[in-house]
Structure formats: C-alpha cells, structure tokens
Structure 1
C-alpha cells in the first residue's frame, strides 16, 4: 500500500460525505487496482470503529490537567500517541470480539403495505408492498429479497453483505439502491454509491455506480445496464412508480404488488418495453393505466389479470 493510494482512499471517503460525490469516478478508481478497495476498506473500518466507540476514545484520550512545566508538553504528546494507539486497539478489540447474534428473521408485507427495517449496524431497508425479506447471518449480512425493497446500507469493511435477488447476487460497499425481482426478472438500480452484481448467467461481475441500473429480461435472461435518474430510484416510497425502457413483464411484476392480484403478460407482447410514471394510489387503476397507455387489453383470468395485445 502506497502513500498515494492511502491519500486517494482518504479523499474518496471524505468526498462521500458530500451530495455531489462523483460515484462513477469512485467506481472506476475501485476497479483500477485491487489495492484501492483494500485501502478504502481500511480507512472506512477505522472511521466506523472510532464513530461507534467515540465515548471510549474520549475517556481514554482526555488529557491530564495542565501543569506549568516546560517538559510536560513533550510528555503529553507521547502520552497522546500511546493513548490513541491503546484506544484504537481497544476499539478494534471490541469490534472483533463482540458477541454474535442470531439475526435470522423474515419480514413480509401485504398489498399496499410497506415497512421499514433497521439492521443492527444502522443500515435501513424499506420493504415494498407484497414483498418478502429474509435476513440471516451473525452480522445480518445474508439477505434474500422477493419483491421489492430500497436499501440504505452502511459501509462496513468487516462485513461482506450479499443480497440474493432471484439469480442475482448483490454486494455493496455502503450504498443506497433499489431491487425489484420476480422469478427470473430483476432490476437493480443505484441511487448513491456502488454495488457489484454477479450471477451464473453473467460472464463477469458488473459494477453499478450512481444513476445506473441493471435490467434482467425474464424472456431470455439477458442483462443490460442502463442510465436511470437517481431520484427515480425507489420512487415507490413517494407513491409513484417510474420506469424507463422497462421490459413489460417487469412492469407487470411491479404493479402486481399493488393491484392485489397477479398480473401476467401474454407471450405476444412479452418483448415490449414501457416508459412512464404512474401514481400508485390504492393500486386498482395501475393495470388499466398501463393497458391504456400501451393500447393493450386486460383479460380477467380469475386468479389474476393478463395483459395482451389481442382482444381476449
């Protein structure tokens, strides 16, 4: 690890406290050299440990009462250096040997119902309607999502969080992102930060920065990276659904969670795309809105609704 890499890691860690951080440049910096991620993790780990154990550090580093002697300054400086080292050792000892917890738990929501979930490390997850989140692992670092959720994950280098979304595995370094998954279909959109997505169907892992989304088309399993407006990521939390060139089966999966009934797409229109913004409301009008905007028909099949291009 060089001084240059350390300086860059410190600069990036500081830059992320600002709303105008260049997340694309940060993603490129991480990918440029494996040492970059290691160094950034070291910086973040120290910062996290200091923040979590600030009272301990303050008590250890509180200097003694001033004494009017010329040589005390030098001794105090030596004491401070030793005290900081001891305090950091104590902090990392607390972090490393803190007792684990069995965090395995399931969270479920019904139609038009959402809930906010707080993890032990301060991360927060907003679970969308008709969705299921499974949280497991001693560090709450093994998650599985079915449906949709918005993740606000705190970066912790000591933890490797993996979120299973269908066939996709999403790992983060401290980010805000939204996942929608149903069967083979998936959308991973990043509002802030960087995530890595891997899957058996991908030749290699894909890194997504702010304003990027990965779409997995359920028709053929193909994945593509698109640009997305950061303020549209997780827009459902504000009562609106936003799509840009979205495969119609994914749109159907999205509105199913609010319509209260499964919405499917007939094979004759499965390859079509939809762009638009709809107000959720009570969810009952969403299927009709999509059908009207795309000149489609809606067939009631008893157990669910079918969007089709031909008159049923």
Structure 2
C-alpha cells in the first residue's frame, strides 16, 4: 500500500471515530489496523495532531460560539482539508521510515572478547557497563545520535546509562534491540537470540526492517526468545530472569531443565566437552552449580541418577 493510500485509510478512521455509532467492534478493528504497521500509526497520529491543532484555531480567535456550533456538522470537510494540507509532510515522514538506516558511528568500534570460561566487565565511554560472559565477542561504538553494540557471539549483560538524546542499540544477528532505559542480558547463538530484562524495558525489532511493525516490547521480568523470524515474549515473576543472569555470579541455575540443555550450558565454560547419550538427554534436573566446577555436577549425576561418567583424553561421556 502506498503512502497516499495509507493516508486515505487513516483519514477514514479519523472521521469514523468522531461519528455517532462508533462501537467496540469498530475500536478493535481500528486497533488491529494501527498495530499492523508503524506507517499506519505515523499517518494516523500526524492527521490526528493536525486536526487537534485546527480545532484550537477558533478558540484562539474571537469567533462567536454560535458560529462554532454552526460549523460543527461540517467537521468532515475540515478533515479532508487537513488531509490535503498534510499530504506532503506525511509522505516525507513515511519516506523517512522506509529509508531508515542505522546511525553512523564517529569512531571505529572498540572490540572486546572473552576466552572460554572467562568473564569480563567493561565500562563504555558513556558510563554504561557491559559484562561479557564466556566465549563472547562484541564491538561498541558511539555516534552523535546513538550508542551501538554488535554482539557477534556469546552473551552479555548491559547496565545502560539513560541518555534521552542518544539511543542505545544492541545488534544481535537478525534482531535490533533498542534500549528504553534498562538492565538486561542478551545471548546469541547464531541467529537464535534470547533477551532477559532485569529492569526497565527494551524493544526488539527486525534488523532488516526499517519499520517497527512486529516489534516486541520486553519489560521487567520478561524473556524474549527469538528463533528465525519469530519472537516469543514470556512473562514471569522474575525467577527465570534471575536464573538466566546467574552467570554474572559464576553460577548456572537449573529448574526442571533437560539434561541435554544443562550439559550444553556447562560446555560453554568447560575445556573438555561433555557428551550425553541419547537415551538420557531428556532427564530433568535442578540445582545451582558453579560454572567452573563441572566435576561436582557430574558427581551429582552419578550419585543421584545412577549415571555413568567416562573420562577420555578429549571428551567426557555421560551414559547409563
């Protein structure tokens, strides 16, 4: 749909909402149309703002109240006049959305990297803090309009200094995470991204799209799971977020977690990988373990579940 067509539809909604007989069903349909695209919202909000400004003009002059009452039935004509007057600026606004491009940093990005099993906290130029988990690579740069981080691999926790004039953006594979003032963690494995928010809010967008259509708002205690083109936001009481960020204290926390998943987490830290036999991968486990003490984890599996641990030169095998 072209910008002009979107504008016409937005004007139609604006008129209908002011007419008698507007129903809850109409409101639901309008809300669905607004959520379908950021371009829809931009068009409607711009027209609505113009209408409100036009309604203020008689109030600022000496127009008698009887004239205002006579003109009220002709409000529809006022809307269409506004549509024409705002057309040029609206097209420019929508063009700006379509032509969106990331801010250009003024300096080359600074690079940070941790080895397997290591963690590191770095302070950025703006005072924000980033904690890198094991085997993590990221770049950070600052420009006049935005502060940006590219999470190339691994996991990081962000404690962001609020700057209304300069956004903080995290690029993680196919997603762009726009910070709305928060403390949060981002984990990336290929194109799979997980965002856990400790406090505040972030907006998760498709990095290939100029618009915010389909963007997900992730708030305090929520976890967003991004897999391919899908984003699932799961609310919780904060326990899941606390477990997912326990690595900052050197801990791995499991709660009814499949053994395969728990071992995969340990393998991110351990020098010698652990392999799990297929018939025991779905055993559910729980507990809190030190990231660098895989031996204690394996000892528990032997004593509590009767599993057998075979240590080889280049790997550890876990089976019945």
Match of 1:212 among 197, 219, 222: 222
Report the alpha carbon displacement of residue 158 of structure 1 after superposing the two structures with TM: 2.9
Report the alpha carbon displacement of residue 136 of structure 1 after superposing the two structures with TM: 3.6
Structure-1 residue corresponding to 2:181: 174
| Rg (Cα) greater in structure | 2
> CA 1:249–1:193 in 2, change beyond 3 Å: closer, same or farther?
farther
State the SS of the aligned residue for 1:172: strand
> CA 1:170–1:109 in 2, change beyond 3 Å: closer, same or farther?
same
Report the alpha carbon displacement of residue 198 of structure 1 after superposing the two structures with TM: 3.3
Match of 1:131 among 136, 141, 150: 136
Structure-1 residue corresponding to 2:298: 288
Report the alpha carbon displacement of residue 279 of structure 1 after superposing the two structures with TM: 2.5
Structure-2 residue corresponding to 1:277: 288
Partners of 1:214 and 1:171 in 2: CA distance:
13
Match of 1:120 among 110, 116, 125: 125
Structure-2 residue corresponding to 1:148: 155
Listed as ranges, the matches of 1:234-273 within 5 Å are 234-244=245-255, 251-263=262-274
State the SS of the aligned residue for 2:167: coil
State the SS of the aligned residue for 1:134: strand
Report the alpha carbon displacement of residue 195 of structure 1 after superposing the two structures with TM: 1.3
Match of 1:225 among 218, 221, 234: 234
Match of 2:190 among 180, 183, 188: 183
Partners of 1:245 and 1:200 in 2: CA distance:
33
Partners of 2:263 and 2:174 in 1: CA distance:
19
Q: What 5-or-longer segments of structure 1 have no aligned partner? A: 1-30, 36-99
State the SS of the aligned residue for 2:170: strand
State the SS of the aligned residue for 2:294: coil
Partners of 2:159 and 2:189 in 1: CA distance:
21
Report the alpha carbon displacement of residue 268 of structure 1 after superposing the two structures with TM: 6.2
Structure-1 residue corresponding to 2:170: 163
State the SS of the aligned residue for 1:285: helix
State the SS of the aligned residue for 1:173: strand
Range with bigger deviation, 144-153 or 164-173: 164-173
Q: What 5-or-longer segments of structure 2 have no aligned partner? A: 1-34, 43-104
Match of 1:193 among 196, 200, 204: 200
> CA 1:112–1:199 in 2, change beyond 3 Å: closer, same or farther?
same
Partners of 1:165 and 1:187 in 2: CA distance:
9
> Does 1:111 pair with 2:116?
yes
